[in-house]
Amino acid sequence: MKKKISLDEQTLKQKLTPEQYHILREKGTERAFTGAYVDLEDRGVYRCAACEAALFTSRDKFHSGSGWPSFELPIDHDSVDEHEDRTHGMQRTEVTCATCGSHLGHVFPDGPGQSGLRYCVNSAALSFEAEKS
C-alpha cells in the first residue's frame, strides 16, 4: 500500500501554475489537444505534478485521439486510486494520485491493450522525467 501524504494548499498554490492547481486540486480539466504531453513520444516516467509520485511510463502511453495523454496501465497497481464520478450528468471513474489525492483525469474501458483500459490524464497534472540514455 502506498504511503499517503498531505500537501499544504498554500505551498501548492505557489508551486503550481493556476491551471495545474485548478486541475489537480479542484478537479478541473484542460482543453483537448492543448496539453504538453499529448504528442510526446520521449521515453521516461510521468509523475504527479503536485507530489512527484511516479504514475505512468512512456511504454504504456498510446495515441487515443482523445486529446489527452492516454495510458494502458499505471506504473504499478497502487499508483493511482479510482473513484466514482457522477458530475456533469455522466457516470465516470475518476483517477487520483494514490500518494497525495490530486485529480489526474478519468479511466475508461475502451483501451487497446490487454487491460482494455484507457487512463485519460491531463498533461497539466503531470511532470515528465526523461529516461537517461
Give which of 113, 8, 11 is closest to 56, Cα–Cα: 113
* Alpha-carbon span 67 to 3, nearest angstrom: 31
76 CB contacts (<8 Å, ≥6 apart)? none
Q: What is the pLDDT of residues 50-94, one digit of tens each?
A: 999 999 999 999 999 999 999 999 999 899 999 998 887 888 999
**Residues marked as catalytic:** 120
Is residue 1 very low, low, confident or very high in pLDDT (cuts 50, 70, 90)?
A: low
* Alpha-carbon span 38 to 86, nearest angstrom: 25
What structural domains and CATH numbers belong to the chain? 9-130 (2.170.150.20)
| pTM confidence score | 0.93
